[in-house]
Amino acid sequence: DVLRRIAEHTEDRPPTYPAADGATKLPAGWLIEHAGFRRGHAGAGGRVALSSKHTLALTNRGGASTADLLALADEVRAGVHAAFGVLLRPEPVLVGCSL
C-alpha cells in the first residue's frame, strides 16, 4: 500500500485526490520533494537541475543535452520509486527519445 510506505518514510501526510477510476491520486511534486529531491537539485555535471521554483520542471542551465535532461528525469523517477513504490509517468509527449 502506497500510503503505508509513505507513512514509513515521512511523518507528513500527502494531499490526495480521487481519480475517475476510483484510484487515489498523489501529487508528483509532493512525492519528489519527500523522496529527497529539493528545488534546484542538480543532475550529474550540473548542466541540468530541478527548477528552483517547482520540482516538476527540469531546467537546462546551459550546454545540457537531451540525454542530460532524461538522466535527471530518470534519477528522480527512480528515487521516488525506491522511496514510495510509485512509478511516475511523464506527462509531456517525448519526441525522438524515451524514459
pLDDT at 2: 81
Sort residue 19 into left (φ over 0), alpha (ψ -120 to 50) or beta: beta
Q: How many CB atoms lie within 10 A of CB 68?
A: 19
Domain annotation covers residue 63 = yes
pTM score of the predicted model: 0.83
One digit per residue, pLDDT tens: the chain, 99 residues? 788 888 887 888 888 889 888 888 889 999 999 999 999 999 988 999 999 999 999 999 999 999 999 999 999 999 999 999 999 988 877 778 887
In a domain, 7, yes or no: yes
Domain that holds residue 52: 2-84
- The CATH number covering residue 7 comes to 3.90.78.10
Give dist(CA 47, CA 44) in Å, integer: 7
**Overall domain count for the chain:** 1
Q: Which three cell numbers stand for residue 59?
A: 531546467
